[in-house]
Amino acid sequence: MSTDRRTFLRQLVIGGASVSALTACGGEGSSNESSQPPSGPDLPEVPNPETPDTGTSEPENATESLSFIVIGDMGTGNIGQYHVAEAMRKIAQDQGCDFVLGAGDNIYEDGATSVDDNGFLESFEYPYQNLDMPFYMCLGNHDCASTIFGGGSDNKRGDYQVDYHYSRQRYSTKWHMPERYYQQSFGRLEEGRPFLDLFVVDSNPLTSFYQDYNSDFSWENYGYPQQLWMKDRVAQSKAHWKIAMSHVPYRSNGKHGNAGNLDEGMRVLFTNPDADGLRYKLFLEEAFADEIDMLVTGHDHLLQWIKPVESMGAAQIIVSGAAGKTDKFQDKKRNPTHFQAENELGFVWVNLTSERMQVEFYLVDEDTGDFRLAYSQDETKSVGINEAMPA
């Protein structure tokens, strides 16, 4: 890595963990019990006066670059998670990192059962203590599970992770989950367009292994409204880059597999008829296909960069589910990849500039904490920029 670039990147690093993004538009309020329809125009984008998004000397400049790390399935609280966190810290220090995306299963094995649950400390605050940057979190099946099997039948439990976002007693201000599903903007360009919009999906109610009999989380009351909200928000977004994050994969070569045919073989044990993700697959395609540049998920404890597939347009498909647990491939050739790794912990570092994305995969030794760059590749941006709506 050249010194020039490091200097360049350092200028762009966001100052602290308290940086909040310009707009935080949540999904349907499950934390505040309001049932107002989640659609509506974007909130006006108000820059946060405390922490200008470009950080340092020239706050009025347009964002030229953002870096972030993607982790998933991390919340074990084990030494492996600490080793990954330390590797992340070093990469953040050397290459820059503005924020972290947490792709779900934040607190093993069965989520948090109160806003002051020890899990927030043991699986999040302590391991990431030395990472001073915001974490944008997504709910996973274990965050909504009532047993260690991660059946995902207690979606209500995920609300505590939203509550933690608003808690005044929390250990740090890193944890960001303003709603169960939400949109988050980063950086800004001329005309006030965001540099990046992040769309976070709550996939557990759509795909859980076991049925949640709480009708608040049925497809009619939750899944489809979320789908309409997401589709609408993505379509309205004028951001230069668009990234979607969800826990359950759209495509994966691990045991959970591809949406539409999730958990083939294991599914016989499940009670939820939606466990194969047929409707979830269409959700993702309808909301994101041909709109987003990257789709990041976790759930399979692997690292994969799956090549774009026609049904999702040009989006790069990243599975980062090895920040706390590891697993092996089930079918290495199920989806063509640029890179994939099994049985090792790790994370993904991404740098976005106006025309290109650089994606790097780091593998971390669970016992020693040694880490190495396993794969790095540049991609030119290929998804068109949304034109402003004609008057």
Residue 279 sits in the site that holds another protein (CB under 8 A): yes
- Cβ 217 to another protein shortest distance, Å: 12
The count of chain residues that interact with another protein, using the rule CB under 8 A, is 24
Give the range of 154-162, 264-272, 317-325, 367-375 binding another protein by CB under 8 A: 264-272
Give the range of 87-95, 159-167, 272-280, 347-355 binding another protein by CB under 8 A: 272-280
In angstroms, the CA 216 to CA 202 distance is 14
Q: What is the DSSP string of 336-354?
A: -EEEEE-SSEEEEEEEEES
Cβ contacts of 271 within 8 Å, gap of 6 or more: 209, 210, 211
- Cβ 118 to another protein shortest distance, Å: 34
Cβ contacts of 381 within 8 Å, gap of 6 or more: 241, 293, 354, 355, 356, 357
- Strand 175-176 versus strand 316-320 pairing type: unpaired
In angstroms, the CA 98 to CA 92 distance is 8
Among 115, 121, 189, 282, binds another protein (CB under 8 A): 282
- Cβ 384 to another protein shortest distance, Å: 19
Residue 267 sits in the site that holds another protein (CB under 8 A): yes
Q: Among residues 268 and 388, whose Cβ is nearest to another protein?
A: 268
Beta bridge partners, 345, equal 364
- Cβ 220 to another protein shortest distance, Å: 5
Show contacts with another protein in window 302-331 (CB under 8 A).
311
Give the range of 129-137, 139-147, 277-285, 319-327 binding another protein by CB under 8 A: 277-285
Residue 270 sits in the site that holds another protein (CB under 8 A): yes
Beta bridge partners, 377, equal 359
Residue 286 sits in the site that holds another protein (CB under 8 A): yes
- Binding marks (x or -) toward another protein, 21..60, rule CB under 8 A? ----------------------------------------
Cβ contacts of 128 within 8 Å, gap of 6 or more: 85, 88, 100, 135, 174
CA–CA–CA angle 37, 135, 361 (5° rounding): 120
Cβ atoms within 10 A of the Cβ of 146, count?
17
Q: Among residues 61 and 261, whose Cβ is nearest to another protein?
A: 261
Q: Which two tokens stand for residue 129?
A: 């203590």
Closest C-alpha among 106, 72, 88 to residue 295: 72
- Cβ 345 to another protein shortest distance, Å: 31
Q: Among residues 115 and 282, whose Cβ is nearest to another protein?
A: 282
Give the range of 117-125, 232-240, 259-267, 330-338 binding another protein by CB under 8 A: 259-267
Closest C-alpha among 152, 142, 86, 99 to residue 119: 142
In angstroms, the CA 202 to CA 185 distance is 18
Residue where the block lists tokens 């008057």:
391
Among 51, 129, 261, 358, binds another protein (CB under 8 A): 261
In angstroms, the CA 140 to CA 180 distance is 10
- CA distances to 125, 237, 245, 296, 357 from 138, in Å: 16, 20, 7, 11, 22
Give the range of 154-162, 187-195, 197-205, 216-224 binding another protein by CB under 8 A: 216-224
Q: Yes or no: say if 160 and 113 are a contact pair by the CB < 8 Å rule.
A: yes
Give the range of 83-91, 271-279, 326-334, 380-388 binding another protein by CB under 8 A: 271-279
- Cβ 226 to another protein shortest distance, Å: 10
- Cβ 274 to another protein shortest distance, Å: 8
Q: Among residues 118 and 271, whose Cβ is nearest to another protein?
A: 271
Among 275, 314, 322, 323, binds another protein (CB under 8 A): 275
Binding residues for another protein, rule: CB under 8 A, are 219-220, 223-224, 227-228, 260-261, 267-276, 278-279, 282, 285-286, 311
